[in-house]
Amino acid sequence: MPAPSTPCLNICVIEPSTGLCIGCGRTTAEIAQWPLLSEPERLAIMATLGERLRALTARPRRRSAGDDITARRILPSSRRRG
């Protein structure tokens, strides 16, 4: 028996505002139910994941206070030593 199809890339991080995994594009409910789904159900979900991930990456990223730090300030070579 072949292994069930899976889109998992082992990049399991849920984007809070959408509820989608940034690695595979599935929702937490889909991830939880994956072992219980039939192969046709898995393939139907997998057919939608490319569009979900494109929409996820096309969204403007929210800025936080830490975004103002420049690379120059956080690289070890530019830290003040002593």
| Model pLDDT for residues 3-43, shown as the tens digit of each residue | 779 999 999 999 998 999 999 999 999 999 999 999 999 99
SS3 of residue 80 by DSSP: coil
Which amino acid is located at 51 in the chain? E
pTM for the full predicted model: 0.66
| Model pLDDT for residues 37-70, shown as the tens digit of each residue | 999 999 999 999 999 999 988 866 665 555 443 3
SS (H, E, C) 2-30: CCCCCCCCCCCCEECCCCEECCCCCEHHH
Name the residue with higher pLDDT: 60 or 2: 2
CB atoms within 10 A of CB 4: 11
